[in-house]
Amino acid sequence: MQYTITGHQLLGFSESALGKNTYQTFNPQTGTATPWKFCEATDSEVHTAMELARTAFETYRELPGNHRAEFLRAIAVQLELQQEDLVSVYMQESGLPEGRARGELGRTTGQLRAFAAVAESSSWMEVRIDTAQPDRAPAPKPDIRKCMRPLGPVVVFGASNFPFAFSTAGGDTASALAVGCPVVVKGHPMHAGTSEAVGRCIQMAARQTAMPEGVFSLLQGSSIGLGESLVRHPATKAVGFTGSKAGGLALSRLGAEREEPIPVFAEMGSINPVVVLPSATEPGKGWAKAYALSVTLGAGQFCTNPGLVLGIEGSGWTAFSKALAAEVDAVGTACMLHPKIASQYQELRTDFFAQPGVSRMTSKDEDQADTRATGGVAVVSAAAFRKNARLKREVFGPFTLLVTCEDQQDLMRTLTVLEGQLTASLLGDETEIKSATGLVALLGEKAGRLLINGVPTGVEVCPGMHHGGPFPATTDSRFTSVGTDAVKRWIRPLSFQNFPEGILPPALKDDNPLGILRMVNGEMTADPI
Ligand code: NAP
């Protein structure tokens, strides 16, 4: 390894270890602690990181997009150079297999390069120019030009279930850096070593590309106090979070209660309802197996895990339900990320089985010691589901609840009581879907992504992706945390009225020096004015 894991905070270009308290991470496969000790960040280190970010912002926001792109690409190259060591630390701290580690690293470098292209294109600036009409009657029209500007320093919370792709150099970090916002990451305590190793790659890339010090810092800690201090710090202008509903809501309240309120973009998970129409229950369609694999993928530790499957009673639905349970049983046990996540899963699954009207369908539902978990499938009637709020909770793990509806009206009544979701899926043929009046529209009110004949796990990173959804899936349904539109969380519009050409920002100048597509007097064009 080119650098060792020290357990220190990364503050701009230096490191710091003022905290007296330490903690360790844990190998869920072996049940033993990893070799490293991590210092808890202090309030003074929080202040230093945020003040460095505040100062860096003044320079970083003005850099040309291609310079920021160079930085993002340099991070990707560093991650690739350190791939073997990063994969080793990742596997030790997460218990996830090598293939997943390498795949997730590839996704992370791909995201960094995608956001580098966004930085370079300046398309995120959404330029609008309305030239002056001095002779307009009854009053002259001034020259008004608008473009997007970065918000300022962003605090990113690393997610437990994606140590690479939704953590230190993940989508939140890459999208904020792309548009000129310095980033301070709060590393997830379950994979602090992975966070530090990735953080050092970012630190090295920042030096190589001559970024201002403070464009990136990493603070580590195992108590909620650190995250609270970061959100409360006056230099913080926005927050990106992926995790539990309790954590997301607490941070969102903190952001709103500040003297200067700030947006907290929290992605808090979902039960991702799936509607199985009669034609999809035919065994030849293979949906029972496909869904068993989706429910158990990564031990079910995905926010897009299909936790609720609804169908209309009949022999087809009964056969589908039994086949799905048998396929989940056939998958066997899997290692979860942490004993705490595993025990929460086991408790929730047991609680679901004990609810009125719920029948357990899988046979291998015995509790496992430490981090190993078995899949679970249960079934309940739509009427019993509707009146029991406990059945609408997310079970983070390889579990799904089947809901048997009497007919389509019963199905629609049941979908109506659902909260906001990241995804909603429909299985069936086109004629069936068309004749299910109002079904697609209703699901569209509930979710941020609709799928037909597919599984919700596997979130493609591309401009067309929306990974968000109505509350409580996220705190703001208008924004995505995956795909290039993720940058929209970190920017705000600024209008310039009657500015002389010489002091307009480059994106708004008459001769269009950036060569970008702009709306000029209502027409999209890259031509100079
Ligand atoms: P978490 O408990 O929400 O924690 C995520 C991060 O937020 C951690 O860094 C945590 O800090 C911090 N945090 C949590 N509550 C906070 C608060 N009140 N104030 C300040 N900071 C706070 O999520 P997790 O540790 O990843 O997993 C726990 C559960 O979250 C899982 O069992 C699952 O139910 C859910 N989860 C959901 C998703 C999803 O995609 N929706 C992803 C991961 C987990 P500390 O750990 O240092 O306290």
Q: What is the pLDDT of residue 110?
A: 98
Residue 216 and residue 334 share a domain: no
Q: Count Cβ neighbours within 10 Å for each residue of 105-137 and write b for 16 or more, e otherwise.
A: bebbbebbbbbbebbbbbbbbbbbbbeeeeeee
pTM over 0.85, yes/no: yes
Q: What is the mean pLDDT of residues 296-301?
A: 96
Is 267 marked active-site?
yes
Q: What is the pLDDT of residue 429?
A: 95
Other Cβ atoms less than 10 A from the Cβ of 65: the count is 24
273: tokens are: 């309802």
User: For residue range 270-279, what is the model confidence (pLDDT) as tens digits?
Assistant: 999 999 999 9
Q: What is the pLDDT of residue 4?
A: 85
Q: Ligand 1 centre and the CA of 160: distance in Å?
A: 7
Q: What is the mean pLDDT of residues 476-481?
A: 98
Amino acid at 320: F
For ligand 1, whether the C-beta of 324 sits within 6 Å is no
Pairwise CA distance, residues 185 & 217, whole Å: 6
Domain membership of residue 403 (yes or no) is yes
Residue 349 and residue 293 share a domain: yes
Residue 125 is given by DSSP the state G
Residue 212 and residue 226 share a domain: yes
Q: What is the pLDDT of residue 181?
A: 98
Q: What is the pLDDT of residue 109?
A: 98
Confidence of residue 59 (pLDDT cuts 50, 70, 90): very high
Please name the residue whose Cα sits nearest to atom 40 of ligand 1.
303
Confidence of residue 122 (pLDDT cuts 50, 70, 90): confident
Domain range enclosing 497: 492-525
Pairwise CA distance, residues 464 & 467, whole Å: 10
Residue 304 and residue 252 share a domain: no
Q: What is the pLDDT of residue 2?
A: 52
**Which of ligand 1's atoms lies nearest the C-alpha of 247?**
15
CA distances from 91 to 67, 86, 104, 145, 162 (A): 33, 9, 12, 50, 12
Confidence of residue 123 (pLDDT cuts 50, 70, 90): confident
Write out the DSSP string of 174-201. Answer: HHHHHTT--EEEE--GGGHHHHHHHHHH
205: tokens are: 């890339």
Q: Are 216 and 249 in contact (CB under 8 A)?
A: no
Confidence of residue 474 (pLDDT cuts 50, 70, 90): very high
Judged against a pLDDT cut of 60, whether residue 1 lies above it is answered with: no
Judged against a pLDDT cut of 90, whether residue 107 lies above it is answered with: yes
Domain membership of residue 458 (yes or no) is no
Q: What is the CATH number of the domain that holds 68?
A: 3.40.605.10
User: For residue range 18-31, what is the model confidence (pLDDT) as tens digits?
Assistant: 999 999 999 999 98
Q: What is the mean pLDDT of residues 450-465?
A: 96
Is 70 marked active-site?
no
Domain membership of residue 457 (yes or no) is no
Q: What is the pLDDT of residue 410?
A: 98
Judged against a pLDDT cut of 90, whether residue 364 lies above it is answered with: no
Q: What is the mean pLDDT of residues 120-132?
A: 95
Q: What is the mean pLDDT of residues 247-263?
A: 98
Confidence of residue 367 (pLDDT cuts 50, 70, 90): low
Which regions of 142-213 does DSSP assign to beta strands (E)?
144-150, 154-157, 183-186
Residue 237 and residue 188 share a domain: yes
Q: What is the mean pLDDT of residues 276-294?
A: 96
Backbone angles phi, psi at 471, to 5 degrees: -55, 140
Residue 254 and residue 329 share a domain: no
Q: Ligand 1 centre and the CA of 93: distance in Å?
A: 16
Q: What is the pLDDT of residue 332?
A: 84
Residue 305 and residue 158 share a domain: no
CA angle, 503 then 509 then 511, to 5°: 135
Residue 262 and residue 277 share a domain: no
For ligand 1, whether the C-beta of 472 sits within 6 Å is no
Domain membership of residue 459 (yes or no) is no
Residue 129 and residue 94 share a domain: yes
Count of domains for the chain = 3
Pairwise CA distance, residues 205 & 379, whole Å: 51
Domain membership of residue 4 (yes or no) is no
Q: What is the pLDDT of residue 337?
A: 94
Mean pLDDT, all residues of the chain = 96
55: tokens are: 């100062």
Write out the DSSP string of 16-76. Answer: E---S-EE--EETTTTEE-S--EEPPPHHHHHHHHHHHHHHHHHHTTS-HHHHHHHHHHHH
Residue 414 and residue 504 share a domain: no
Q: What is the CATH number of the domain that holds 381?
A: 3.40.309.10
Residue 350 and residue 397 share a domain: yes
CA atoms within 13 A on the CB side of 184: 36
**Which of ligand 1's atoms lies nearest the C-alpha of 254?**
19
Q: Ligand 1 centre and the CA of 192: distance in Å?
A: 14
Domain membership of residue 475 (yes or no) is no
Q: Ligand 1 centre and the CA of 386: distance in Å?
A: 28
Judged against a pLDDT cut of 80, whether residue 452 lies above it is answered with: yes
Residue 260 and residue 164 share a domain: yes
Q: Which of 160, 186, 475 to mutate to test the pocket of ligand 1 (most atoms within 8 A of CB)?
A: 160
Pairwise CA distance, residues 62 & 501, whole Å: 17
